[in-house]
Amino acid sequence: MQSLAAWMPGLGGFAIGAAAGFAVRHARLCSFGAIEDALMGGDSRRLRIFGLALGIAILGTQSLVISGVLRPELTTYTLPSLPIVAILLGSLFFGIGMAMVGTCGFGSLVRLGTGDLRSLIVILVLGATAYAALRGVLASVRIDALERLSIGMPDGIASDMASLTSHAFGFDVRPGLAIAVGAGLCLIALGDPRLRRAPRLLSAGIALGVLVVAGWVVTNSLGDEFDVAIRPQSLTFVSTIGKALYAGVLNASSFADFGVGSVFGVVAGSWLAAWRSAELRWEAFDDDHEMRRHLVGAALMGIGGILAGGCTIGQGITAGSMLALSWPFAVGGMVLGSRLGIALLVDDSVSEIIQRRWASLRSRKQPLE
Check if the beta carbon of residue 93 is closer than 8 Å to that of residue 311.
Answer: no
pLDDT of residue 367: 46
pLDDT of residue 264: 96
pLDDT of residue 369: 35
pLDDT of residue 351: 56
pTM for this model (two decimals): 0.90
pLDDT of residue 356: 64
293-321: buried (b, 16+ CB within 10 Å) or exposed (e) per residue?
bbbebbbbbbbbbbbbbbbbbbbbbbbbb
Across the chain, which has 369 residues, the per-10-residue mean pLDDT values are: 71 96 95 93 93 98 95 91 96 97 96 96 96 92 90 91 93 96 95 89 96 95 60 93 83 80 97 95 92 96 96 96 96 96 76 62 52
- The residues, ordered by sequence, that sit 6+ positions from 150 with a Cβ below 8 Å of its Cβ are 81, 82, 83, 84, 85, 86
Pure H helices in 191-287: 193-196, 199-221, 239-249, 258-276
